[in-house]
A = this chain, B = another copy of it.
């Protein structure tokens, strides 16, 4: 835990009790909990903590790259008329999503370790990057 306190200071943010506990809770589990779940658990140790603080702290720690958010398109749902097996290239700048196909991925065999987790039904790959248009726009600014 002392590491976390140090990590906070290194990032220039105060190592408050709530932050330490939220961080501890997240580091202690591999189940990728959501804010509400973390809130419930941390509350056992800090009964007065508020859900808002949990949200705020998670955001802060994410911005400081102390933790990560499970990749997901969150904000708004997007739809697709393409029902074939395919994958997506997502532009991190403008949000544009393009389809792509890959024989290599279609033939992907999960590592043995995955067999212990459960039965795989589908494979979806998400490449993140910067689309052509945004690459050009980015260069112009510089």
Contact = CB atoms under 8 A, between A and B. Distances in A.
Interface of A: 23, 26-27, 30-36, 38, 58, 62, 65, 67-74, 76-83, 88-89, 91-92, 96-105, 108-111, 113-114, 116-132, 134-135
Q: Secondary structure of the A side of the interface?
A: mixed
B67 A79 contact: yes
Given A81-B27, A129-B120, A34 B108 contact: no
A89 B124 contact: no
Contacts of A62: 79
Contacts of A35: 76-77, 79
A124 B121 contact: no
A100 to B, nearest CB: 5
8 contacts: A69-B80, A73-B74, A104-B111, A116-B132, A118-B134, A121-B129, A123-B128, A124-B125
B135 A97 contact: no
Contacts of A120: 89, 127-129
